[in-house]
Amino acid sequence: MTPVIGLAAIRAAEARLAGLIAPPPLLRSATLSHRFGVPVLLKPENRLASGSFKLRGAGNAVAALGAREPGRGVVTASTGNHGRALAHAARQAGLPAVVCLSALVPANKVAAVRALGAEVRIVGRSQDDAQAEVERLVRDRGLTEVPPFDHPDVIAGQGTVGLEIVAAVPDLDLVLVPLSGGGLAAGVGSAVKALRPRARVVGVSMARGAAMHASLLAKRPVPVAEMPTLADSLGGGIGLANRFTFALCGALLDDVVLLTEEEIAAGIRHVFAHEAEIVEGAGAVGVAALLAERLVPRGPCVAILSGGNIDPALHRRIVEGRWTDRPAEGPD
């Protein structure tokens, strides 16, 4: 049975988030609108307080938990942005937060989580290692897990992006959603398909280690090797025991597009040069997919700039044209 995230849950999330986030307005991309002859709009989630849309799902989950079990601490494993968002939301709510990270997570993201007052634990080289530590802390310390994507409150929170897009773009044709574990895609897809059934919702991932894409092809959650990528926030698996996002993405996504590292770099460069927004690799994939013409919008199109937490030195190398794609390390 396919799970359903209803509009009522997404609207409840919107109400809970009202004091925590200032919804960023849609920006019209002059260059992309001109190129495709339709309005191309950008949703700059990089402007949220924690630097990504993840504050929506984490904020909704913390608010829902706070109402049910006040005072209980939260714990998560995360490639960075969810941990940062959960730390931010927990601090706002006055709850302790523990974040378990793999050693692949960039140093700037680790520092950001610590700066928000959360306890950080670095364990192993994969998301799975970090997840095992979460389960231990739930058992031994009685913390409540808020997972990065596979949870109804998290999906409903991310779905508020979809509500805002639909409200602003009545004749919506296409939404480009950065895709990793699928919380954003499942939430946005739930809102958009409920309100604009004819609009297309397309996931965009990097070709290097796209776990949801591989799982949808295999018709079951499959493990993928984690590889270094500019879109580091899109790395990691979807969980072999995935309960919600795998089925929801299968039901709601019209397509999934995969991009090379060069294409992602071009997206980061374009967004900086033409929109004056700093986005990380994951945040640039929607624009990158349009630039590479993997998709052609037939009507108003929205690309979600999902986050902006990129190492400043890496961003500078990319926008100054000094970045080159090096072959992934390790055995093939």
Ligand X SMILES: *Cc1c(COP(=O)(O)O)cnc(C)c1O
Give catalytic residue positions: 54, 306
The whole-angstrom separation of Cα 114 and Cα 221 is: 32
Residue with tokens 């849309």: 53
> DSSP per residue over 15-29, as a string?
HHHTTT--PPPPEE-
CA torsion, ordered 226, 229, 232, 237, to nearest 10 deg? -20
CB atoms closer than 10 angstroms to residue 240 = 12
Helix, strand, coil percentages for the chain (3-state, nearest 5): 45, 15, 40
Which is nearer to ligand X, 60 or 81 (by Cβ)?
A: 81
Which is nearer to ligand X, 261 or 280 (by Cβ)?
A: 280
The whole-angstrom separation of Cα 95 and Cα 158 is: 21
Residues that bind ligand X (CB under 6 A): 52, 54, 81, 148-149, 178-185, 233-234, 280, 282-283, 306-307
Which is nearer to ligand X, 42 or 185 (by Cβ)?
A: 185
Residues 6+ apart with CB under 8 A from 240: 221, 222, 223
Q: Provide the minimum distance between the beta carbon of 185 and ligand X in the complex, in angstroms, as a whole number.
A: 6
Which is nearer to ligand X, 300 or 307 (by Cβ)?
A: 307
